[in-house]
Structure 1
Amino acid sequence: MTMAAAMQSRTAEAPARSKASRIAHVDIVADLDEAEPIWRALEKSGHLFTPYQRFDLLGPWQRLVGEHEGARPFIVVARDAERRPLLLLPLSLRQNHGVRTASFMGGKHTTFNMGLWNAEFAAQVIAADLDTLLALLREHADVLSLTQQPMRWHEQQNPFALLPRQSAINGCPLLVMEPGGPPASRISNSFRRRLKSKEKKLQALAGYRYHLATSDTDVTRLLDWFFRIKPARMAEQKLPNVFAEPGVEQFIRDACLAPCGEGRAIDIHALECDDEVIAIFAGVADGQRFSMMFNTYTLSEHARYSPGLILMRNIIDRYAERGYSSLDLGIGTDEYKRMFCKGDEDIFDSFVPLTSRGKLAAMAMSSLNHGKRLVKQNQMLLDLARRVRQAFG
């Protein structure tokens, strides 16, 4: 079934009067500064977006990382007949083999990708709205590669779930919390006891503490430590150091220093004593969800007391006590994540052809991601792939 046909079949169920799209105009903005006022206005309450799409996080990514990768800003602003913004899509455009591909800004550094929606419009979106939007993008791009999108955000459906979609390659471990609930409702008493006995060793250290970095000096000091320690940790795990790629370190520093509400665009939580930083976790928070972005822990002998898990317990309790209802630990099913997160966030990918040239590209992208997902799901194949990589790496 073609994309248009798939959408028509869904539209047919909508009442006749609502067939017309509320989208009357679509602007393509190729300049971050020009897009900034509308973008920031859509970050205010009454809008639907994830904290990964904040201007202060994606702006530095686009300027420092995206541009270096040959990605140009492709910011889509959809408006109603009165020219009120209904939606902003923070995309970037790349051209490979003659195919223009638009994808979300943020690359491998964002766990979730989504537009910034007027929440009332998002709740009423029908296929005709998306048809109108896509029709107006055809002149500018051949294919949309929209990966790692949450099905829902804060109890509201992501309107792009109406597009043809497939499950994302990797899951995202999720902890649903009862705001203000008893500590055992989020972390079992037996697990807490185990962590407490390990923490006794750390508590003996002078100046041992958990805190959220609030001053620029603290943020910079913790990041200096992170960029020194993380490469050693990644080398130990035989993983490529994504933080060494051009522009990445400066992008992270800029976002961690950018003020945002009561915190920063990226918040840094730390466990430390007077002599050393023991562990850090950095992530984004929006009043309801904390989402982890990157972490590392000390190379000293204190690493044996599970400082990462102790820090995670502190973070979970901190946000639960502030009325947060969920917390996720980023893409991937590392063992430690399962100690805290029993569920998974439902995330999907959409590869949407806009032109005939984009059709083949969308099929290829979809097949490639589907294949990667099958490999991930088959532990035997995964182990084999890892051994082959080690043998020939």
Structure 2
Amino acid sequence: MTPIGEHEVVVTSDFNVAKAFIEALGADHLSTAFQNSLWLEGWVKMLAQPRGITPLFCMVRNPEGRALLLLPLCLRKKRFRRIIEGADLGVSDYIAPVMASCFVPTPSEWTQLWQRIVAALPRHDVLRLTKVPPSVGNRPNPLTWISARHVLELQAHGVAISTPWETCALRIFSKSRREKFRKSWRKMAEFGELHFRCVTDPTEMTGLFEQLVAQRLHRFASLKRNDPLRDPNHLNFYRSLVANGANAGFVRLLLIEIDGRPVAMQFGVCHGNAFHLLIPTFFDGPWAHLGPGMLLSARTMQWAAENGFTYFDFTIGNESYKARLGAVAHDLHEIVVAGSWRGMPTLAAVRLKAWIKRRPLLLSIVRKCSRWSISPSRWHPRD
């Protein structure tokens, strides 16, 4: 590998330049779904720009001009502080770089490169990367080699899937869970003609997605819980994914319906060998006690396996239903670096919070005193 000191590091806010750079990384580049070009385009146009937040795309090339790495970030201002963070803004579940397949740095080489990336960034008071996964594709995520990191209590969950599905289901689900699924499907069929299907047509997906949103907003309001989809920018972001990602095979909507009426729906994205479940919901009705959300999750897992996916990603959140569907927890990391004296209070607060989390007794006391919720839930199918 060419010495890191000879690599070029450039930062741009132009998404078109970043998109061309991702293409230059090669068709076999490594990334998560949340750094996919379709995802980033919607993120820039529907979230960053309307909020006056500056996208930052860090691009690394070797001396021969070969594209090696792109790291999507953003710069926002909060009171008197300038904060650089991952390209998230509440929608991206993982923060990671996009890497060429030939880019295989050692931890020491990455440390040198990281110092150059930070030096190339605009002036900032805090650099904070949250929800950093341990790997990108089949490679270690080099962001986890940064020393200024700690493990979050928030975790990601997923499970390896395979065919034949009958054999995979024996491995994933308990005997009682399999029997419960069979019984629920049989009883739900008593209400009418029962079907599971995957929607790929953009026009139909658009209409069904609006039904999904309306149901979620109604359900969350009845539970007196905040739903991110109430934010028009968030909602427009997902609408843009539907509009631009359906034909590309990036987004899929799956549902169970009775006599053509949706009973439960799930919206997710396809990337590499994985299907990522993002938004599940179910509809009220006499079948609600049969657990249509859990039943649809199992059916979606089967669909994913039979369509060539080898990993079903429930993404972030520590909800208990994921374990009942065979999911395994994976740690997520957070990196916080102070860029100036204004960032020191943030750094101190993050370190204190991480220190408390590592002490269960103290953590329980803090939670009882302040009702401090550390693991926010986002989506909840019903069991």
Aligned counterpart, 1:326: 311
Aligned counterpart, 1:21: 4
State which drifts further: 246-255 or 339-348.
339-348
Identity across the alignment (%): 22
Q: In structure 2, what residue type is equivalent to 1:48?
A: L
Secondary structure of the equivalent of 1:263? Answer: coil
> Structure 1: which 5+ runs fail to align?
1-17, 389-393
Structure 1 residues 232 and 98 mapped into 2: Cα distance closer, same or farther (>3 Å)? same
Aligned partners of 2:172 and 2:326 also within 8 Å: no
Q: In structure 2, what residue type is equivalent to 1:289?
A: A
Q: Deviations over 1:328-365 (max 9, x none)?
A: 21222222212113421121111123445444443334
Q: Is 1:171 matched up with 2:155?
A: yes
Aligned partners of 2:276 and 2:312 also within 8 Å: yes
Q: In structure 1, what residue type is equivalent to 2:135?
A: R
Counterpart-to-counterpart distance in 2, 1:377 and 1:328: 32
Aligned counterpart, 1:337: 322
2:256 to 271, 286, 303: 271
Counterpart-to-counterpart distance in 1, 2:207 and 2:340: 49
Structure 1 residues 310 and 21 mapped into 2: Cα distance closer, same or farther (>3 Å)? same
Q: In structure 2, what residue type is equivalent to 1:136?
A: A
How far has the Cα of 1:58 moved from its partner?
Answer: 2.3
Q: In structure 1, what residue type is equivalent to 2:56?
A: F
Aligned partners of 1:168 and 1:373 also within 8 Å: no
Q: TM-score w.r.t. structure 2 length? A: 0.86
Structure 1 residues 188 and 277 mapped into 2: Cα distance closer, same or farther (>3 Å)? same
Structure 1 residues 70 and 122 mapped into 2: Cα distance closer, same or farther (>3 Å)? farther
How far has the Cα of 1:92 moved from its partner?
Answer: 1.1
Q: TM-score w.r.t. structure 1 length? A: 0.84
Aligned partners of 1:353 and 1:359 also within 8 Å: yes
Q: In structure 1, what residue type is equivalent to 2:38?
A: D
Aligned partners of 1:376 and 1:382 also within 8 Å: no
Counterpart-to-counterpart distance in 2, 1:226 and 1:369: 36
Structure 1 residues 241 and 250 mapped into 2: Cα distance closer, same or farther (>3 Å)? same
2:28 to 31, 38, 46: 46
Q: How does 1:151-300 map to 2 (within 5 A)?
A: 151-164=134-147, 165-178=149-162, 180=164, 182=167, 183-259=169-245, 263-264=249-250, 266-300=251-285
Q: Deviations over 1:138-159 (max 9, x none)?
A: x443332111011123331001
Structure 1 residues 23 and 207 mapped into 2: Cα distance closer, same or farther (>3 Å)? farther
Q: Is 1:110 matched up with 2:92?
A: yes
Aligned partners of 2:366 and 2:372 also within 8 Å: no
> Structure 2: which 5+ runs fail to align?
374-383
Structure 1 residues 352 and 250 mapped into 2: Cα distance closer, same or farther (>3 Å)? same
How far has the Cα of 1:255 moved from its partner?
Answer: 0.7
Q: How does 1:341-352 map to 2 (within 5 A)?
A: 341-352=326-337
Q: In structure 2, what residue type is equivalent to 1:309?
A: M
Counterpart-to-counterpart distance in 1, 2:231 and 2:362: 28
Counterpart-to-counterpart distance in 1, 2:355 and 2:216: 31
Q: Deviations over 1:122-167 (max 9, x none)?
A: 4545222222222222x44333211101112333100111112101
How far has the Cα of 1:289 moved from its partner?
Answer: 1.9
Counterpart-to-counterpart distance in 1, 2:262 and 2:327: 29
State which drifts further: 375-384 or 169-178.
375-384
Structure 1 residues 56 and 371 mapped into 2: Cα distance closer, same or farther (>3 Å)? farther
How far has the Cα of 1:207 moved from its partner?
Answer: 4.1
Aligned counterpart, 1:131: 115
Structure 1 residues 217 and 323 mapped into 2: Cα distance closer, same or farther (>3 Å)? closer
How far has the Cα of 1:170 moved from its partner?
Answer: 0.8
Aligned partners of 1:56 and 1:258 also within 8 Å: yes
How far has the Cα of 1:279 moved from its partner?
Answer: 0.8
Counterpart-to-counterpart distance in 1, 2:257 and 2:366: 40
1:62 to 40, 44, 50: 44
How far has the Cα of 1:383 moved from its partner?
Answer: 6.9
Aligned counterpart, 2:377: none
Aligned partners of 2:55 and 2:74 also within 8 Å: yes
How far has the Cα of 1:108 moved from its partner?
Answer: 1.8
How far has the Cα of 1:79 moved from its partner?
Answer: 1.3
Secondary structure of the equivalent of 1:119? Answer: coil
Counterpart-to-counterpart distance in 1, 2:218 and 2:358: 29
Counterpart-to-counterpart distance in 1, 2:237 and 2:351: 30
Secondary structure of the equivalent of 1:194? Answer: helix
Q: Deviations over 1:169-200 (max 9, x none)?
A: 41122223356561312223431111111111
How far has the Cα of 1:260 moved from its partner?
Answer: 6.7
Counterpart-to-counterpart distance in 1, 2:362 and 2:2: 40
Q: Deviations over 1:281-320 (max 9, x none)?
A: 1122223222221111002222221111111111112222
Structure 1 residues 319 and 98 mapped into 2: Cα distance closer, same or farther (>3 Å)? same
